Structure 1
């Protein structure tokens, strides 16, 4: 990126344009706008005539709506919507047909099982074994996660504290990443959960991890490009029948890594576990 490009104002997103224009739109145009806000993927996938039918308005209304939100043509708006579709927003993956249907419990369970099976087709026992060994041998384990990824980072850190003394989930409340990245070293290991939608600083964090020499376990959804700097890049399938991503496979991967660490920790790990239980009993916390 050149200095000039870095100083250019960021282009407003397609959905931002729509939401900003909604209060000023005529009733029929507002109906298109509200429909597109709920199901932006429909515009990315369908023609103006098809969108008009879905929103129950005329094609001319769709054309006026497109112009009111700042586009010259429907095709220009559709290209912009398609670009945003690749950001991973679940809004762009949900259709009006999906919203009208009630997904059965069995469909959710079946998809979860399918996600686990598809995920572990590309993950070997030796990879899990090596990743667990690296975590146990590291000077310090840093677990990173933002947005939905933060919950998995916290869970992994909480479970592994039983056998890994020097492990932390970052960033914590009120903290910045700089406070932690400055301490990264070549004997450390980073577990980075980067499930969509990823935050903009993800690439910068990856660059800093690479510069530090620390080993990296990179855990993403199936849509993320392969990260060459990672010692292990685990892709988890997150397909779902409803409007939310299914993270069953991510939890299954966490379980596999945690269990293998507990197994590899051996006598020393069991000794630490016993000590933890002793303190829990003496403090009468559980």
Structure 2
């Protein structure tokens, strides 16, 4: 099973394990980060099993020894799965103020790394682009749709992709040098992300890459915004990303000036005609 993901290996064999191994397997499925962090004896203590059970368990998974299994688990933890960040000993806090404090730090630290000059440069390119493309997957899909909805106030040629049933090939083929791409690479990033980056680079259009803090600086991006996603609970927090998008959208509307006001007036007139609002 050389290419099978670590957790997939565990789930595959779980029904066939002996009771003690099943107990260990259930712990690992719920908190795989424990195996990535602890020694074999520490994991045995957490699960309430023997060291021999841990050794049998990792061999059943197809590893030669515990260190090989732990190395594989660490590699998967580095991809950003929240499952690997859970702690069997620590429950998520219930006090809303703790979440609020974390979210406020995320917003502050995200925007602290952004300069007014780079936002204004991005906004100028957005307003002058032939077309603005927003590519997002998983949570990035919702973020792309949100930013597109906001920018449509002043930018008519603005799309969020891919849509249901669509693949990326037709969209990458449509990129032109006077376009701007806003690509969301929030973890966990899809496997095709590196290929999309190559496709955008080949198209020679401008690229704004919006990621979490775990993504190394992308040299091919004209802008790389690394947003803080720390959380007090088991899920990543995206308020820092939303703060960045709010900043971009508001600066775009301000910078659009008369053109933006004319489009906003036309939108309001259309809404009145349709009776939508």
Structure 2 residue 9 is matched with structure 1 residue 12: no
User: What are the superposed Cα offsets for residues 189-209 of structure 1, whole Å, 9 maximum, x if unpaired?
Assistant: 000011000001111111111
Of 54, 63, 77, the residue aligned with 1:71 is 63
Change (3 A) 1:10 1:282: farther
Structure 2 residue 219 is matched with structure 1 residue 236: no
Secondary structure in 1 matching 2:118? helix
Structure 2 residue 144 is matched with structure 1 residue 153: yes
Q: CA deviation at 1:71?
A: 1.3
Q: CA deviation at 1:102?
A: 3.0
Distance across 2 between alignment mates of 1:11 and 1:28: 27
Structure 2 residue 179 is matched with structure 1 residue 188: yes
Q: CA deviation at 1:178?
A: 1.0
Of 94, 117, 120, the residue aligned with 2:111 is 120
Q: Could you tell me whether the CA contact under 8 Å between 1:103 and 1:242 is conserved in 2?
A: no
Structure 2 residue 63 is matched with structure 1 residue 82: no
State TM-score, norm by structure 2: 0.97
Look up the match of 1:136. 127
Look up the match of 1:258. 249
Secondary structure in 2 matching 1:96? coil
Secondary structure in 2 matching 1:208? helix
Q: Could you tell me whether the CA contact under 8 Å between 1:103 and 1:241 is conserved in 2?
A: no
Distance across 2 between alignment mates of 1:27 and 1:57: 10
Q: Following superposition, which runs of at least 4 residues in structure 1 exceed 2 angstroms of deviation?
A: 100-103
Look up the match of 2:193. 202
Change (3 A) 1:153 1:28: same
Look up the match of 2:162. 171
Q: CA deviation at 1:264?
A: 0.4
State TM-score, norm by structure 1: 0.94
Look up the match of 2:46. 54
The number of residue pairs the alignment matches comes to: 277
Look up the match of 2:19. 27
Look up the match of 1:92. 84
Q: Could you tell me whether the CA contact under 8 Å between 2:92 and 2:232 is conserved in 1?
A: no
What is the aligned-residue RMSD (CA, Å)?
1.1
Structure 1, unmatched stretches of 5+, are: 1-8
Structure 2, unmatched stretches of 5+, are: none
Of 32, 36, 40, the residue aligned with 1:40 is 32
Of 266, 271, 277, the residue aligned with 1:280 is 271
